[in-house]
């Protein structure tokens, strides 16, 4: 998974260093024993297709995280931190394997391709990410709100979403 390589130090000497490990052409890390891939947005769809071909036939979770208040989180070398991160968990039932993808999504262009054609079960999960975080999925069959009313303004799970109040009316209440 990784190869040793040499780099030139500031004083001109040569140092041995280890290259960041890669799988499927993207950086890889480990989270409590689970393999985590960090594809770029451009690699995302191709990596998911390759994983499906390799047996990861089920998308068991797709969600997002807003890292507005934690921009310095640890990421593998070469992966630039963005405000949003879409997290996808895939399962290979036959070989009893799991793999996670963490894709950095910039706030200024919060768009990723939809996984619907590869994993149709991701349809509702992508809609939820759109509704709660404002990340759009291109080529999605129904990119509309799923939890909030259609006329709702904003995305409630964004860290900068203003907290407000919704009046609750109780049955029999006269107020």
DSSP character for 80? P
Query: What 3-state class would DSSP assign to 22?
Result: strand
DSSP character for 12? S
Q: How far apart are CA 86 and CA 105, in angstroms?
A: 7
Q: How far apart are CA 99 and CA 133, in angstroms?
A: 23
In the CATH hierarchy, which fold is given to the domain comprising 22-71+79-138? Beta Polymerase; domain 2 (3.30.460)
Cα–Cα separations (whole angstroms), residue 115 to 3, 57, 121: 32, 12, 9
Q: Is 65 exposed, middle or buried (0-12, 13-18, 19+ CB in 10 A)?
A: middle
Q: Decide: 117 and 139 in contact? Cβ < 8 Å.
A: yes
Q: What is the pLDDT of residue 171?
A: 76
Q: Decide: 127 and 150 in contact? Cβ < 8 Å.
A: no
The domain segmentation of the chain, as residue ranges, is: 22-71+79-138
* Confidence band of 153 (pLDDT split at 50, 70, 90): very high
pLDDT of 14 strictly over 80: no
**70-74, 83-87, 92-96, 126-130 — which is least confidently predicted?**
70-74
If you average pLDDT over every residue of the chain, what do you get? Answer: 89
How do beta strands 34-37 and 58-66 pair? unpaired
Q: Decide: 111 and 90 in contact? Cβ < 8 Å.
A: no
pLDDT of 69 strictly over 90: yes
């Amino acid at each position: 998974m990784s190869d040793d390589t040499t780099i030139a130090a500031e004083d001109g000497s040569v140092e041995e260093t280890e290259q960041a490990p890669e799988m499927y052409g993207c950086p890889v890390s480990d989270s409590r024993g689970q393999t985590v891939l960090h594809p770029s947005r451009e690699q995302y769809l191709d990596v998911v297709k390759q994983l499906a071909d390799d047996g990861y036939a089920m998308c068991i979770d797709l969600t997002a995280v807003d890292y507005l208040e934690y921009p310095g989180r640890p990421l593998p070398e070469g992966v630039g931190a963005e405000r949003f991160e879409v997290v996808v968990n895939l399962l290979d039932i036959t070989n009893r394997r799991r793999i996670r993808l963490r894709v950095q999504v910039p706030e200024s262009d919060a768009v990723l391709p939809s996984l619907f054609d590869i994993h149709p079960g991701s349809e509702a999960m992508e809609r939820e990410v759109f509704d709660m975080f404002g990340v759009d999925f291109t080529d999605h069959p129904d990119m509309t709100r799923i939890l909030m009313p259609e006329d709702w303004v904003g995305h409630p799970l964004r860290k900068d979403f203003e907290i407000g109040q919704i009046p609750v009316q109780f049955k029999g209440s006269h107020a």
